[in-house]
Amino acid sequence: MSEQLNFSPTRPYLARAIYEWICDNQLTPYLLVDATQPHTEVPLQFVKDGQIVLNLAPHAIHQLHMSNEAITFSARFGGVAKDIYVPIQAVLGIYARENGQGLFFDPSEYDAVETNNIAETAPSTEVAEPSKKKPSLRILD
């Protein structure tokens, strides 16, 4: 009975739970991101030592979506709107700005996970034809 089960990583579930706890306590959620991970789309001018801290306060961002594959939202950086895409394996931690309470993740948690699944969910870097309809994200409960 040496059968090994493949469980999905806990990071996306814990990140969503900690985010909700931080917001329920009227604190400011900060997301620590490894900006060097493939498919990570963050404003590079704010990256320091390969990492960036993003403010996820509901009043600071739009269209937040936290899935098992990525965290996406839109925010303004230096007055310029930018769509953010953070693959879940790039999330190093989520914590409250005011007291530092939160959760930091093992960077090697995703080492054994197939990268094929990650690449399939990442945004395409190909130039797409402009569409007449704006893309939209929705928050799932």
How many C-beta neighbours within 10 Å does residue 19 have? 20
Q: Is residue 49 part of a domain?
A: yes
If one counts the domains in the chain, the total is 1
Q: Write phi, then psi, for 128 (nearest 5 degrees).
A: -95, 155
> For the segment 68-78, what is each residue's pLDDT rounded down to a tens digit?
999 999 999 98
DSSP 16: H
CATH assignment at residue 16 = 2.30.30.220
- pLDDT, tens digit, 9 for 90 and up, residues 51-106: 999 999 999 999 999 999 999 999 999 899 999 999 999 999 999 999 999 999 98
- β-sheet with 70-77: strand ranges across: 61-66, 70-77, 80-87
Find the domain containing 23 and state its range: 10-99
The Cα–Cα gap between 86 and 18 comes to: 17
Identify residue 7 by its one-letter amino acid code.
F
Whether 105 is in a domain gets the answer: no
Separation of alpha carbons 108 and 115, rounded Å = 13
In a domain, 114, yes or no: no
pTM, full prediction: 0.76
